[in-house]
Amino acid sequence: MKICGVVTEYNPFHNGHLYQLEEAKKKTGADVMIVAMSGNFLQRGEPAIIDKWQRASVAIQHGADMVVEIPSAFSVQPADLFAKGAISLLVKLGIDVLSFGSETGEGKDFSEAAKIYLENEELINKIFQKKQAQELTYAKNMSQLLKKYFPEITLDLTQPNNMLGFAYAKELQKKSEPISIQTIRRKNSHYHDQKVKADDRIASATAIRKLLLSSDEWLYKKKLPFPKETQLCLHQSKLVHWEDFFPYLKYKILTASLEELNQIYLMEEGLEYRIKAVIKEAESMTDFLTRLKTKQLSWTRLQRLCFYILLDQKKEEVEGRLKKIDYIRVLGFNKTGQAYLSKMKRQIKTPLITNVNQKNSTLLSYDITVGNVYRLADSCKIKSQDFRRKPIKID
């Protein structure tokens, strides 16, 4: 039996994701497709446009046999920590092969690059500290460094999917598990494309979200770049974005002391003063981030920081949660996924959680808090995210 793992966010699930799942299953010959998916706040620090249950449901209807949730401690993180959480989950669930989308490169390219990097990690970090250009992003700095000093690494790490894939490959190397990598070449659209072109069958999630949040135009389009099940979820749901949380964030910053802000996870020394000053004038989340953004402080990094301010998460608290995966939260499955889960139960030592109750809620306390905060966007339309929720089962 071959088990294929996929790491994703499905924000929202679109035709590109459908293509990737279909190709992954075909190329790997997998009997079971396991998806590790972010919950309600995502890797780039933004809230999911619809909740984790709806995204998991659509995924199971379109090729996933089981969906498990990446804990929030790992989901709102840079690539390496995000990968640590996701890969740990999939390894615990017994995958034989990992599949992910990439702009360039085959599985062996990622495995070889990861091996070279880890063998020279200490040297690479020393060079990076000396040679990094302040005006460039981390990805561009690292890509230039590796190209110059380790030309045998041929991957273009300025591309977002390649960068994530490289992080996954490094985690697999650390695990020393016999898990292979199968890449699926990204089709038609680029990760940061801003527009959905007329009659596009595949578009970037960025462009899709922009269309969804800008107007109701998408409701009247005959052809959309996502399945009808996604369309139904979007039509019936509150479409969540950062502006929904801005009043709460502003209140949090205004009432916190400088000392309290200084202790927030990802807060750089002295940034709390600037945040305090800027929030007084900012009229929206977009306005706030635009005023704060610099060459050194990217939009993504600031969104992550704002998430941790909103949740009032101190550095030592978050770092403590990043030591290991304490549980596996199952969001849904089909018959194939359920049968595999039943077979694996005795082999998996980490607690498998299908229903949140008083006995196991301590393990999930942080995710429960994140779910409650997510509901602040619209507590009438967004159901409870943890208690009284059972895994989705689709036959």
Q: What is the pLDDT of residues 272-283, one digit of tens each?
A: 999 999 999 999
pLDDT at site 381: 95
192 known ligand binder: no
| Top-confidence residue, 220 or 256 | 256
pLDDT at site 204: 83
235 known ligand binder: no
* Per-residue pLDDT reduced to its tens digit, 351-369: 999 999 988 999 999 999 9
19 known ligand binder: yes
10 known ligand binder: yes
Is residue 196 included in any domain, yes or no?
no
Is residue 111 included in any domain, yes or no?
no
Is residue 55 included in any domain, yes or no?
no
18 known ligand binder: yes
125 known ligand binder: no
20 known ligand binder: yes
pLDDT at site 223: 77
39 known ligand binder: no
Is residue 288 included in any domain, yes or no?
yes
101 known ligand binder: yes
Is residue 168 included in any domain, yes or no?
no
152 known ligand binder: no
Domain that holds residue 247: 243-319
Mean pLDDT lowest among 19-23, 153-157, 201-205: 201-205
* Per-residue pLDDT reduced to its tens digit, 170-204: 999 998 888 999 999 876 545 455 566 555 577 88
Is residue 4 included in any domain, yes or no?
no
**Residue 235 above 60 pLDDT?**
yes
pLDDT at site 199: 57
What's the burial of 376, exposed, middle or buried (CB within 10 Å: 0-12/13-18/19+)? middle
241 known ligand binder: no
Is residue 328 included in any domain, yes or no?
no
Whole-number average pLDDT of the chain: 92
151 known ligand binder: no
Query: What domain count does the chain have?
Result: 1
161 known ligand binder: yes
pLDDT at site 189: 47
186 known ligand binder: yes
